[in-house]
Amino acid sequence: MMQNFQFFSARSIEEGLDYLSDKEGLCKIIAGGTDLIPGLRNEDFHPDYILNVMEIEKLSGVTETDEAVRIGPTTTFTEI
């Protein structure tokens, strides 16, 4: 049986950090959440809070420098 949790979608890194700063208990951070429902159903984790970072624009995209290629954690396969 799935437990209750509080869900929040951050629109900026600062907003996400602010949300996390006063939380006590387990927080699961997701970017899309494809593993969320199976994990909850299988009781792999029991979060008190879920923070969605998918809407944070700074976490998306592909950037290239001379030394590396950076793929943001919320970048989609289409963007790559």
CATH number at residue 36: 3.30.43.10
Is the pLDDT at 74 greater than 70, yes or no? yes
Contact 58, 12 (CB under 8 A): yes
Confidence of residue 63 (pLDDT cuts 50, 70, 90): very high
In-domain check, residue 76: no
pLDDT digits (tens, 9 = 90+) for 19-34: 999 888 889 999 888 8
pTM, to two decimals: 0.81
- Is residue 77 a part of any domain in this protein? no
Nearest Cα neighbor of 40 from 55, 53, 50 is: 50
Domain count for the chain: 1
Strands (E), 1-79: 6-9, 27-30, 49-52, 62-64, 69-71
Q: Is residue 45 part of a domain?
A: yes
